[in-house]
């Protein structure tokens, strides 16, 4: 199984070297790693280029884009740009530049894919540093495959139609994989260090976009309110609840294009309700 990894990177000079060192140290290295420098103003591309010069399986490419931060869409567009430079692959990964992998990461992930022909997505778990300890980044269930460490089987990636360019892309991909009867799996013993915790730099616009994403995933207003309450509770801010619900309603009245079909949306709502009832019961 050939493994290709695409790493979108914007101003990641503080983290990129440690990240790529962890790729170089793998017991089973990917067949190629493509770092896409997206309009950085720091030394991101220089660092990526130095690794590319030392390792023939690492590529460094540049993408010119707008300076505006567009949640979700910008990183997916950058990933897709890198994907155009990829060779033939069986497993494709979208990884962030602010992570450090355990040395056996790809060896363990590859074993999971080889032993389960229905496995469509797989990852380890993300850990953040608190008071000199590395603790689980508790913003999602441990069964959820997080955005910074996505690994797809090509059959699954093609079936779900690739990644949706917007907020929620790293949720809808898991739901669509399950809709198409692929298994998704996290490997708890693969603890990935996340050097910059999720939510760093989140703004009101980000939470409006989250509400829009729930509309595009066809959650419906009730599920959207429940999900928004959970986010607000975790962030200890009722304002985030209001922003997410407003984002949903804004998308509803604007009739923004959906991420999924009606059939896929029906599956997603049933799946979400099943998860809610299981936790309550």
168 and 210 in contact (C-beta within 8 Å)?
Answer: yes
Assign 185 to helix, strand or coil. Answer: strand
Which pLDDT value is given to residue 55? Answer: 98
* CB atoms near residue 56 (< 10 Å): 8
Tokens standing for 2?
Answer: 């050939």
Residue 137: what are its φ and ψ, rounded to 5°?
A: -80, 95
Residues 6+ apart with CB under 8 A from 41: 11
9: its two tokens = 């990177």
What is the widest separation between alpha-carbon atoms in the chain?
56
Q: Which CATH number fits domain 3-194: 3.40.630.10, 3.20.20.140, 3.90.550.10, 3.40.1190.20?
A: 3.90.550.10
Q: Where are the domains of the chain?
A: 3-194, 204-280
Tokens read off for 134: 């590395």
Give me the helices (H) in 128-261, please: 154-159, 169-179, 204-216, 221-235, 238-254
From first to last of its 281 residues, the chain has per-residue pLDDT tens of 999 999 999 999 999 999 999 999 999 999 999 999 999 999 999 999 999 999 999 999 999 877 666 678 899 999 999 999 999 999 999 999 999 999 999 999 999 999 999 999 999 999 999 988 999 998 888 999 999 999 999 999 999 999 999 989 999 999 999 999 999 999 999 999 999 987 644 445 677 888 999 999 999 999 999 999 988 887 788 888 999 999 999 999 999 999 999 999 999 999 999 988 888 87
- Residue pair 39/10 in contact (Cβ under 8 Å)? The answer is yes
Q: Which residues contact 12 (CB under 8 A, 6 or more apart)?
A: 19, 40, 42, 44, 97, 98
Residue 236's pLDDT is what? 81
Instruction: Please state, in angstroms and rounded to a whole number, the distance separating the CA atoms of residues 184 and 160.
Output: 13
pTM over 0.75: yes
CB atoms within 10 A of CB 156: 23
For tokens 């603790």, what's the residue?
135
């Amino acid at each position: 199984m050939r493994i290709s990894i695409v790493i979108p990177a914007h101003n990641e000079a503080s983290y990129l070297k440690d990240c790529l060192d962890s790729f170089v140290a793998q017991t089973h290295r990917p067949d190629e790693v493509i770092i896409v420098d997206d309009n950085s103003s720091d030394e991101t591309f220089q660092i990526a280029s130095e690794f590319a010069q030392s390792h023939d399986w690492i590529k460094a490419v540049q993408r010119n884009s707008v300076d505006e931060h567009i949640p979700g869409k910008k990183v997916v567009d950058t990933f897709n740009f890198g994907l155009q430079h990829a060779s033939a692959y069986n497993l494709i990964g979208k990884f962030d530049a602010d992570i450090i992998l355990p040395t056996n990461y790809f060896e363990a992930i590859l074993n999971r894919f080889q032993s389960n022909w229905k496995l469509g997505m797989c990852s380890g778990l993300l850990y953040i540093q608190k008071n000199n300890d590395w603790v689980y980044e508790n913003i999602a269930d441990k069964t959820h495959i997080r955005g910074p460490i996505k690994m797809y089987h090509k059959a699954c990636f093609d079936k779900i139609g690739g990644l949706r360019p917007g907020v929620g892309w790293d949720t809808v991909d898991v739901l669509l994989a399950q809709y198409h009867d692929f298994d998704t799996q996290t490997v708890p013993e693969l603890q990935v260090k996340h050097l910059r915790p999720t939510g760093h730099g989140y703004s009101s616009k980000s939470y409006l976009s989250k509400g829009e994403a729930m509309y595009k995933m066809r959650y419906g207003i009730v599920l959207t309110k429940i999900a928004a309450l959970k986010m607000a509770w975790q962030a200890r801010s009722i304002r985030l609840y209001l922003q997410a619900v407003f984002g949903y309603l804004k998308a509803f009245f604007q009739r923004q294009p959906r991420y999924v079909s009606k059939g896929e949306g029906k599956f997603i709502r049933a799946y979400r309700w099943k998860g809610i009832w299981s936790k309550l019961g």
